[in-house]
């Protein structure tokens, strides 16, 4: 099983890049981990056309058999324990070689990408910049894996 973060555009914020390296190294101790970033979409003034172009790049990076979890503020919300349990359920089915967490661009996902997703999850009811979502997601994936192993990283109050 491989875990993949697939994001629209490049990571441009240095502390996000540093955090992704930090949590990526921790995730790698459990499962193969990769971050795939599409090339930036530039000079498209129409939002719908930009979303379509970003989504096409994301869809091209997916392969048959990927289990796709689209991150969207309107998706299913989890506690950290439920997030971990849902990842474990996907892993236990053994039907996917790769779980791909997709972060669309600043204006969200188009219909075709939403239809390709197996599930849509939210990290919060709050709205975050899509650059920062990368880091929050990586930390939550690490937290979920440490919960699965009953390690002391996560504390339930």
Of residues 18, 3, 21, 20, the one with CA closest to residue 133 = 20
CATH code linked to domain 2-148: 3.40.1280.10
Residues 12, 105 contacting (CB under 8 angstroms): no
pLDDT, tens digit, 9 for 90 and up, residues 44-63: 889 999 999 999 999 999 99
Domain boundaries, the chain: 2-148
Task: Supply the pLDDT for residue 95.
Answer: 85
pLDDT band with cut points at 50, 70 and 90 for residue 89: very high
Is residue 23 helix, strand or coil?
helix
Task: Supply the pLDDT for residue 65.
Answer: 95
Question: Which string of DSSP letters, residue by residue, matches 131-144?
Answer: HHHHHHHHHHHHHH
pLDDT, tens digit, 9 for 90 and up, residues 115-147: 999 999 999 999 899 899 999 999 999 999 999
* Helix ranges, the chain (H): 14-28, 47-61, 80-93, 111-116, 130-148
pLDDT, tens digit, 9 for 90 and up, residues 3-31: 999 999 999 999 999 999 999 999 999 99
């Amino acid at each position: 099983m491989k875990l993949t973060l697939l994001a629209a555009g490049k990571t441009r914020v240095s502390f996000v890049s540093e955090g992704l390296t930090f949590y990526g190294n921790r995730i790698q101790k459990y499962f193969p981990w990769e971050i795939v970033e599409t090339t930036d979409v530039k000079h498209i003034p129409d939002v719908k056309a930009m979303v379509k172009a970003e989504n096409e790049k994301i869809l091209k990076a997916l392969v048959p058999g990927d289990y796709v979890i689209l991150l969207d503020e309107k998706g299913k919300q989890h506690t950290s324990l439920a997030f971990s349990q849902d990842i474990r359920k996907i892993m236990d089915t053994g039907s996917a070689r790769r779980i791909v967490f997709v972060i669309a661009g600043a204006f969200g996902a188009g219909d075709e990408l939403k239809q390709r997703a197996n599930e849509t999850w939210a990290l919060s009811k709050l709205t975050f910049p899509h650059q920062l979502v990368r880091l929050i997601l990586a930390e939550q994936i690490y937290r979920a894996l440490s919960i699965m192993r009953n390690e002391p990283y996560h504390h339930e109050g």
